[in-house]
Amino acid sequence: MLTVPNQPTKPYLTRLEKKRMEERRIEEQRMKDVALLLDYMFEREEITVKRILDCLYDVGSVNLINQRVQVNLLNQLMKAIARMTRPVFRIVAYRWFRKNCPQLIADWLRTKVSF
């Protein structure tokens, strides 16, 4: 009876492949650290983030209303409504920002250091 020797389940890795795998693992860990540090920074700088969101809302809402609404009276009414809705926007935008931005910024930074 012929028998086939047991094949190892993992293929043999060269020293270079092992080193690249280790470098990749370190890179992943460092990028997780970057996202975590960004999250901590945004937590400490909550007021700054909210002020930035307020400024972006003010500029964006005025530009959007000016672009879409040509009638002067209606334009002024829409701007007043936009000013009243700023607190709701701030709450929703800040929650979205805290949930998504650390990872989005970390991913963007990774593209800047990847060659």
Query: What is the per-residue pLDDT across 21-43, written as a single tens digit (0 to 9) for each?
Result: 999 999 999 999 999 999 999 99
pLDDT tens string 39-94: 999 999 999 999 999 999 999 999 999 999 999 999 999 999 999 999 999 999 99
What is the structure's pLDDT at 41? 95
pLDDT of residue 87: 92
Confidence of residue 14 (pLDDT cuts 50, 70, 90): confident
Q: What is the C-alpha to C-alpha distance for residues 103 and 32, in angstroms, rounded to an integer?
A: 9
Residue 114 makes CB contacts below 8 A (sequence gap 6+) with none
Give the C-alpha separation, 105 to 35, whole Å: 8
| CA pair distance 90, 67, nearest whole angstrom | 23
- CA-to-CA distance for 81 and 52, rounded, in angstroms? 20
CA–CA dist 109, 102 (Å, integer): 10
Q: Where are the domains of the chain?
A: 29-113
| Whether pLDDT at 13 is above 70 | yes
Place of tokens 């047991």: 6
